[in-house]
Amino acid sequence: MTIEIAANVGSARIDIAYERLGDAHAPPVLLIMGLGAQLIAWPDGFCAELVGRGLQVIRFDNRDAGQSTHLAGTPDMAAALAGDASSASYTLSDMAADAVGLLDALGIERAHVVGASMGGFIAQTIALEHRGRIRSLTSIMSSTGDRAVGQPHAEAMRIFAGPPPTGREDVVQRAVAAFEIVGSPGFPADLAGVAERAGRAYDRGFDPGGFVRQAVAVLASGDRTARLRALDVPALVIHGADDRLVDASGGRATAAAISGAELVVIDGMGHDLPAALWQRFATTIAALVQRSEV
C-alpha cells in the first residue's frame, strides 16, 4: 500500500509505500531499513516473529527506495566524502520526518522504532527530533555519525567498486557478491534468499540515483553523539562483532552515548539479519517493548 504524506521538499507531498502486519491495536513497531534498501529487506520471517510476540509491525520504503516517491537531482558524492555536502538533496532529518508523517497518516501517536544500518541513523534522528513520537529505540548494525567509529573495513569497500549495475541480472549478482563480503560469517548463508530479494527489489523500483541521494543525506547530517548523550529513551543496540560494513565500534559508541542503553554484540554476525537470529532479535526487541509500555 502507499499513502501520501507531507514532506520536507518545499510544499510538495510524497508517497510512502508501507505494509502493516499484525493486530492494529497491538504495540506498534516501526521498522526502518538502510541505505538503498526496501521494506522487503526486513525478512518476512523476522516480521512474523515480532507479530507472534504480540506486536504490530509497520515496514516501509524510505524516500528514493522501492515504491515510495523518488526525487530528482544528482548530489556530488566525491565532494560530500571530502566534507562538502552542500549538494545534498535532503538530510536524515527529512527522512525522519517522513517516518513521523507515516505515523501521522496511520493514526499512530507513538511507536517503538527499530532501524537497521542507515535506518538506525534515521531512528536515532526521530528520537532526537521527535521525542514525543517514540516509545523505544532499537538501533541495529548502525552508528552515531561520528566518522571515527563504525567505518567499513577495507574489504567491504569492494562492494562499491565499479560502475553501478544496470540490469536485473547484474543487480542480483552484485547483491550476492556483496553478501559474501559483508554477510554473517558465523551463520548459514541463504544466498538463494539474497538473490530472490534482490530480484524483487529490482522489480519494485530500481534507482541508483536514489542510493546516491540517500548516501549524501547521511554525510550531510553529521555526528549525533553529543545529542544522543542527552537522550532519555529506552534503547537497545544490536551489532555484529563481525560486521565489516559498519564496524562494531559504531554500535558500541551508540550504546555508550545513550544513557541506559542495552548493548548486544553477537559473535559471528555481520551486516545482515541471519535467519538463525530472528527469534533472538524478536525476543530482545519484544522485551524492550514490554519494559517501555509499563
Q: State if pTM tops 0.85.
A: yes
- Indicate which residue of 61, 142, 146, 271 is catalytic: 271
Residue 199 maps to a domain: no
Instruction: Find out whether 257 and 144 touch, Cβ atoms under 8 Å.
Output: yes
Beta bridge partners of 60: 18
Contacting residues for 204 by C-beta, under 8 A, at least 6 apart: 38, 40, 61, 66, 67
Residue 73 maps to a domain: yes
Residue 262 maps to a domain: yes
Predicted local distance difference test score (pLDDT) of residue 8:
61
Q: CATH no. for residue 98?
A: 3.40.50.1820
The DSSP code for 14 is E
Q: How many domains does the chain have?
A: 1
CA atoms within 13 A on the CB side of 130: 27
Alpha-carbon separation of residue 148 from 128, 152, 154, 238, 262 (angstroms)? 21, 11, 15, 19, 22
pLDDT tens per residue across span 222-252: 999 999 999 999 999 999 999 999 999 999 9
Return the minimum-mean-pLDDT range out of 1-15, 167-181, 254-268: 1-15
- Indicate which residue of 98, 243, 247, 272 is catalytic: 243
| Mean predicted confidence (pLDDT) in 184-213 | 96
Residue 213 maps to a domain: yes
- Indicate which residue of 117, 139, 142, 292 is catalytic: 117
Residue 266 maps to a domain: yes
| pLDDT band, residue 9 (cuts 50/70/90) | low
Provide the domain limits for residue 71: 2-151+206-293
For residues 154-187, b (16+ Cβ closer than 10 Å) or e, as one string? eebeebeeeeebeeeeebbeebbebbebbbbebb
Residue 10 maps to a domain: yes
Residue 92 maps to a domain: yes
25 catalytic per annotation: no
**Per-residue pLDDT for 216 more than 90?**
yes
117 catalytic per annotation: yes
Residue 191 maps to a domain: no
Rg (CA), the chain: 17
243 catalytic per annotation: yes
